[in-house]
Structure 1
Amino acid sequence: MTSGSLHRLTAFTTTANGGNPAGVWIGETLPAPEIMQRIAAEVGFSETAFVAPAIGLERTVRYYSSEAEVSFCGHATIATGVVLGESVGDGLYRLTTTVGTVPVAVRKRDGNYEASLTSVEPKHTAAPEALVTEALTALGWRREELDGAIPPARAYAGAWHLVLAVAEAQRLANLNYDFEALKTLMLRDGLTTLQLVWRESATVFHSRNPFPVGGVVEDPATGAAAAALGGYLRAEKLITTPTTILIRQGEAMGRPSRINVDIPSSGGIVVTGQAVWI
């Protein structure tokens, strides 16, 4: 077995009881896929990042949930950036993922390391009516509860997410869905999470992210979905760019997270956060 060091952090927070926990494994070479899957299952977090080699600004990374490999994971990338900052120092790291190269700028701010990832080029498609209907049924939501100003969409910035925006905060606050039904439709459609959002203001969104395909009822912070949402809002001119939005996630779970999303006029979406050891 390839040897390496395993770190456990929680991302998009400055306290150990907030954010989204992630594993970060760093070694000279990546383990075999079945070994990475086993380690991720043993760690038990929504995702673990596997990073090699152990030195340098150029690294290869793979992401695994407890159940399967994931194409891209934002919170584990932020956690990786913080580990690299603590062990190597400030810098612009370039992570080669299965979906492309993701630059990660790492710096110390107010005594703590933070990381900013720049996503691959985002894209989106309108969500098919059948997919939306099936998702709403699994969620127990009614179509009239959706926000007509932000139409349902399949959005991508390294992984695919179904964006469903609701008109009222209370609808988002009450989340009790059919786990197996939602998992089935997500596997069929190649979705990583559902990006369920309520827009509080022009630059503040609240988000909840079911992740049954990873064996997780809900993610408390989802950086990949945040980037995908930013790309979708920009492409459909639902927001004026360049701008920065704040996504508040995890509050209903008791693990509050803050995801800062810089949306330039073109190119990748920049997602920034801190992470702490747990």
Structure 2
Amino acid sequence: MQQEILRYTAFAAEPGGGNPAGLVLDAAALSDDEMLAIAREVGYPETAFVVGTTATGPRVRYFSPGAEVPFCGHATVALAVALAERDGLGRRVFTTAAGEVALDATTGPDGAVQVAMTSVEPATRDIDPARLARLFDLLGLEAADIAPGFPVLESFAGNWHPVLVLHDRELFHQFRFAPGPLADLQREAGWEGTVTVLHRTGEREYEARNLFPVGRITEDPATGSAAASTGAYLREVGAVEPGDRVTIRQGRHVGRPSLLLVDVPTSGGITVTGSATPIS
């Protein structure tokens, strides 16, 4: 049976921006190989598959063109928007391999569906020094390039992401890397999400580059899981106060400007807010 595949873009800051996601709303009968084949055919960073339901919402799996991933933030927001458009606004809890993720769909200021996604319980941890040295080498960076007060950590809010904050604006925009060796390091380290590189542009504003060669994409336009992990990281290093909203801009380097709003509570899951629209 031919599966209906929806295509949405999430977190767009302007027309043509955002991160595209495939959505399959009835995937219960699909095998892993079939879902991976669909994700490869769609060719987006991730495709979300609804494989069942619970009393509070869908069970969801996520595949990049290369492999299954535990969680994908932008595809989750896109799916929540699609379900709200079909079945109405309100709260749904998605059951994922990373845990339960709460989605609150409301009407935004522009009249479109807006979704606030609250992550699973986040965590941070130190990065192995030898692994960090390899990461620096692959990105052409040195320890002195890291902004003071922003130690490199691994942060989790659905996927593990190493988080690096660079203090030099030009270096942030111009650094290069070889996708193959970085993907090898990601697989070895268990970084199933992106390598998150940030530059602080304001008191609570950051620009982000999220490197994703492990998903067969050099750089991700908008990464909801990384935005949530960034919120957890900033809370851990004391760069935000409880209740702060952080603005993250992403995607400029790949021609798809994106905007993610991150609310950081005193404890618990980080909330990332955005919307999504169908791709014609």
TM range (shorter): over 0.9
The alpha-carbon deviation at position 276 of structure 1 amounts to 1.2
In the alignment, what sits opposite 1:224? 225
Spell out, residue by residue over 1:117-158, the C-alpha distance to the aligned partner (whole angstroms, 9 max, x if none).
110000011122212111111111222111121100111001
User: Are 1:72 and 2:71 an aligned pair?
Assistant: yes
Q: Specify every segment of 5 or more residues in structure 2 that has no aligned partner in the other structure, as ranges.
A: none
The alpha-carbon deviation at position 175 of structure 1 amounts to 3.3
Q: Using the alignment, how far apart are the partners of 2:187 and 2:166 within structure 1? A: 23
User: Are 1:114 and 2:131 an aligned pair?
Assistant: no
Could you tell me which amino acid in structure 2 is paired with residue 149 of structure 1?
Answer: G
In the alignment, what sits opposite 1:47? 46
Q: Using the alignment, how far apart are the partners of 2:195 and 2:267 within structure 1? A: 24
Please tell me whether the aligned partners of residues 14 and 275 of structure 1 are also in contact (alpha carbons under 8 angstroms). no
In the alignment, what sits opposite 2:125? 125
Please tell me whether the aligned partners of residues 72 and 224 of structure 1 are also in contact (alpha carbons under 8 angstroms). yes
SS of the residue corresponding to residue 200 of structure 1 reads: strand
In the alignment, what sits opposite 2:262? 261
In the alignment, what sits opposite 2:140? 140
Please tell me whether the aligned partners of residues 149 and 237 of structure 2 are also in contact (alpha carbons under 8 angstroms). no
Over 3 Å counting, the alpha-carbon distance change for 1:226 and 1:262 in structure 2 is same
SS of the residue corresponding to residue 27 of structure 1 reads: coil
In the alignment, what sits opposite 2:36? 37
Please tell me whether the aligned partners of residues 22 and 46 of structure 1 are also in contact (alpha carbons under 8 angstroms). yes
Q: Using the alignment, how far apart are the partners of 1:24 and 1:213 within structure 2? A: 21
In the alignment, what sits opposite 2:272? 271
SS of the residue corresponding to residue 256 of structure 2 reads: coil
The alpha-carbon deviation at position 16 of structure 1 amounts to 4.5
Please tell me whether the aligned partners of residues 66 and 215 of structure 2 are also in contact (alpha carbons under 8 angstroms). yes
The alpha-carbon deviation at position 53 of structure 1 amounts to 4.2
Please tell me whether the aligned partners of residues 22 and 47 of structure 2 are also in contact (alpha carbons under 8 angstroms). yes
The alpha-carbon deviation at position 52 of structure 1 amounts to 3.8
Please tell me whether the aligned partners of residues 26 and 53 of structure 1 are also in contact (alpha carbons under 8 angstroms). no
Q: Using the alignment, how far apart are the partners of 2:69 and 2:27 within structure 1? A: 21
The alpha-carbon deviation at position 55 of structure 1 amounts to 10
SS of the residue corresponding to residue 5 of structure 1 reads: coil
Q: Using the alignment, how far apart are the partners of 2:236 and 2:43 within structure 1? A: 36
User: Are 1:10 and 2:20 an aligned pair?
Assistant: no
Number of residue pairs the alignment of both structures matches:
277
In the alignment, what sits opposite 1:203? 204
Spell out, residue by residue over 1:96-133, the C-alpha distance to the aligned partner (whole angstroms, 9 max, x if none).
00111111111122221111111000001112221211
Q: Using the alignment, how far apart are the partners of 1:14 and 1:237 within structure 2? A: 28
Please tell me whether the aligned partners of residues 30 and 51 of structure 1 are also in contact (alpha carbons under 8 angstroms). no
Q: Using the alignment, how far apart are the partners of 1:276 and 1:232 within structure 2? A: 29
User: Alignment RMSD, CA only?
Assistant: 1.6
Q: Using the alignment, how far apart are the partners of 1:270 and 1:247 within structure 2? A: 13
Please tell me whether the aligned partners of residues 16 and 276 of structure 1 are also in contact (alpha carbons under 8 angstroms). no
Q: Which moved more, 1:137-146 or 1:197-206?
A: 137-146
The alpha-carbon deviation at position 180 of structure 1 amounts to 1.3
Q: Using the alignment, how far apart are the partners of 1:189 and 1:28 within structure 2? A: 30
